[in-house]
Structure 1
């Protein structure tokens, strides 16, 4: 269930009239001010990957929990091998084997002139001070060290005899000390940590089977438009392939969400409302593309603009004009009994993707409970053949490629909101402020990195 608290559309317009042009920052602040992180839940480790930890995790048992060998070899006393050399090896009596997981280390005590055959990860037996790798010995049978060691290790009954050690070992050599990784009482992971594979591994290593996290948000993405056809189908006259739902579903997953793509909905308001209502059961966030401008077939506005007055009191979607290019028409509000947030994005491919990066991605990160919801921004020098023009009063987002080593950004493609091929080759957004109508080559500009 979503825990966002989105006010009714009538109160959610910030007191602005229908003709008010919102700035990018106003719109984003309004959205983030209404979104609350999802409620924490306890999950099994395999299900917690990608989630955000809610509480500090303390180490209950030191890791490793006991002194153990980092090599296959022999546990010895340092004094017994202090003068060992190839010409004059130290000859030690092998008193037994210590295997990883055997728990039999305490049954052996290494005394003067003695050694215990030991495997990687096995506990260091009492009396032993170091481990000599098998490669430093004759393997215990007077032959090649590895062959003899494996042969003896394969036969537990043949665990005694002699071993010749050809090199001295320092105290604690090849011994992993108890608590050398983390100590009991240490903080293993702090609240706010995103659980990736290494973090999941650490939790398992300290014995945690479950963990308290904020779940990954469930995001439902749908495109609107009777002209849209699914990839793989035959195009008829006037039709295009639906790319937005694929791109935004992938973007939602990359942001950390569990994303569901819904096939394109035709330009029918009743069908769209029915589809959205069907999806509410599995959505913490709804994202639509298309149908938010002022055309005759802008079905998203038609379907949702009156929802606050009908089935779900207290919910609704406010449609706005933003001072940005691309992405001027936007919608934001909530729908359904749980007031599930809905962001309505424009339908042009570049407009929808830029809008996702600016508004939807931060919402996903906020639902996850992350402190920093924004992409990394840097300053870079514009590398272009000529000046870039930008409309007065609008913040423009151009596609670019960023060269970190050179500190430059190069525009890719033009400013058209349909140029999806250029978007596919971009790794950043080049930002031109509202009060700037031209940027000369060599000027410093703000760059939003799409990969960080």
Structure 2
């Protein structure tokens, strides 16, 4: 496609968030390729993206077993409440042995009127179909009564159901079933499932490499003396942390001055070394903002203004460059020029960069596609949305989407409501430190009153913080 922020569909106006996602999706579709894969030990897999289909080599659990300590028996050995006959609420069975976790019973099958001690996780002996928990039992020895052995008295017999407290073989994962598909983000839970299959290693996609740098003569490196009018480079460290949290390899190119020539050279170099390039600062309309013009000289600009707050000035396009290590590269490297204000940097990363990274890294969609959803939309790779109740009145400008930083609290009625974290300026980075979510006030809504429903984007695992 021809990249242009002056697409006839949009003219020169600011794009809505949905329109920007559509442009991004269409642009990225043209450079999509299957990431290279490698095999790693399972201990090294957390945070990676699965590159193979996993078929279970066994049943999980491998055998029918007890879900708690107690006795195993056949329910048919107990009085049947359906018989219509008067019943006692306790009965007594003979105990013939024990089945322990890792040491199953290897003797004969249980006969009518017999039971077996069993521990949690131990295999059910042949002839048993039910486990009665330890709290309902009382054991007594039969020594001196003309027989050697043990008997157990069971209380609450009428409440015992056939199959209770029993985990069936394969009830979690059946032998031969598909467990995971390529694109699965390997969370701790996913790694645990793979371990339960006995897999010592797994194929994963190689992580993307993203080059980042900050721009601006006022931006000061950590450890240096802060000059008059200077600021320390928080954005680059924010981005490094955000990217590494997603399993991305970071190529940190430091801080560039407000000089179009140096910015252009850095973009050209980065496009030969990374799968994506991200900058912060230098994308608005100030006379010292050179990133947009440098991008125009090194590639193509697709969009640069979005009707949102914080984060209106955001440049996206394609740099000309082919990774030397990847002959399958299309010759175009996605570029994001993020705003310079630190909160705007983080919010635009969440809305646009994070979904793009998830798409390009081969991750599965986070939600099932709706029948009406566009195949190129990135919305399904965004952070999860929840509907909560506004705990205070929220105000916005009707012509844009506003993202307030929020916390979830209990109101005086015991309901979960969402409140802002205080001052919401795009330079108040501590508002992100306190945030559990982003409160999304849609375009067209100037005021959202306390007690009304509101959508929030959750900033938890695999979100932004």
TM-score by structure 2 length?
0.67
Are the aligned partners of 1:67 and 1:175 in contact in 2 as well (CA < 8 Å)? yes
Which segment drifts farther, 176-185 or 441-450?
Answer: 441-450
1:179 to 148, 170, 178: 170
Q: Out of 423, 431, 437, which is 2:441 matched to?
A: 431
Distance (whole Å) between structure 1 residues aligned to residue 58 and residue 396 of structure 2: 62
Using the alignment, how far apart are the partners of 2:75 and 2:454 within structure 1?
Answer: 62
Measure how far apart 1:78 and its partner are. Answer: 6.2
Are residues 1:123 and 2:118 paired?
A: no
Match of 1:417 in 2: 426
Q: Distance in 2 between matches of 1:378 and 1:112?
A: 56
Q: Is the 8 A contact 1:219 1:260 kept in 2?
A: yes
Q: Name the counterpart of 1:150.
A: none
Aligned 1:201-350 pairs, distance under 5 A: 201-209=192-200, 217-231=208-222, 233-253=224-244, 256-258=246-248, 260=250, 262=252, 264-267=254-257, 268=259, 272=263, 283-301=274-292, 303-308=294-299, 316-317=300-301, 320-335=304-319, 336-337=321-322, 338=329, 339-350=332-343
- 1:397 pairs, out of 389, 396, 402, with 402
For the pair 1:363 / 2:359, whether they are aligned, the reply is no
Counterpart of 2:351 in 1: which secondary structure? helix
3-state DSSP of counterpart to 1:166:
strand
Equivalent positions of 1:37-52 (< 5 A) are 39=34, 41=37, 43-44=39-40, 45-51=42-48
Pairwise CA distance, 1:378 = 5.1
Structure 2 Cα separation of the partners of residues 249 and 413 of structure 1 = 25
Deviations 1:75-116 (A, max 9, x none): 55667787xx9x99655454xx544334x6445544578766
Superposed displacement of residue 33, structure 1: 1.0
Which position in structure 2 is the counterpart of 1:374? 382
| Aligned CA distance change for structure 1 residues 105 and 92 (closer, same or farther; 3 Å) | closer
Deviation of residue 344 (structure 1)?
0.8
Q: Are 2:58 and 2:175, in contact at CA under 8 Å, matched by a contact in 1?
A: yes
**Partner SS state of residue 149, structure 2:** strand
| Aligned-partner Cα distance in 2 for 1:88–1:443 | 57
Counterpart check, 1:21 vs 2:13: yes
Q: What is the Cα deviation at residue 122 of structure 1?
A: 2.9
**Cα distance change of structure 1 residues 326 and 129 upon mapping to structure 2, 3 Å threshold:** closer
- Displacement of 1:340 in angstroms is 2.3
Check the 8 A contact 2:211/2:250 in 1, yes or no: yes
**Matches of residues 142-181 of structure 1 in structure 2 within 5 Å?**
162-167=149-154, 172=163, 174-181=165-172
Q: Deviations over 1:332-353 (max 9, x none)?
A: 2233213221111121223323
Distance 1:88 1:266, change over 3 A: closer
Write the distance in 2 (CA, Å) between the matches of 1:88 and 1:417: 72
Q: Classify 1:123/1:91 alpha carbon distance in 2 versus 1 (closer, same or farther; 3 Å).
A: closer
1:202-261 deviation per Cα after TM superposition (whole angstroms, max 9, x unaligned): 23323455556666644443322232234455423332111112233344455x442537
Give the secondary-structure state (helix, strand or coil) at the position aligned to 2:282.
coil
Please tell me whether the aligned partners of residues 50 and 195 of structure 1 are also in contact (alpha carbons under 8 angstroms).
Answer: yes
Unpaired runs of at least 5, structure 2? 80-87, 323-328, 370-379, 410-414, 461-465
Count of aligned pairs: 405
Structure 2 counterpart of 1:451: 459
Whichever of the two has the greater Rg, that structure is 1
Deviates more, 1:398-407 or 1:256-265: 398-407
Does the Cα contact within 8 Å between 1:137 and 1:163 map onto a contact in 2? no
Structure 1 SS opposite 2:316: strand
CA distance 1:301–1:191, shift in 2 (3 Å):
closer
Deviation at 1:23, TM superposition (A): 1.1
In structure 2, the CA distance between the partners of 1:127 and 1:225, relative to structure 1 (3 Å rule), is same
Taking structure 1 as the reference length, the TM-score comes to 0.69
Matched position secondary structure for 1:262: strand
| Unmatched tracts of structure 1, length 5 or more | 1-6, 143-160, 309-315
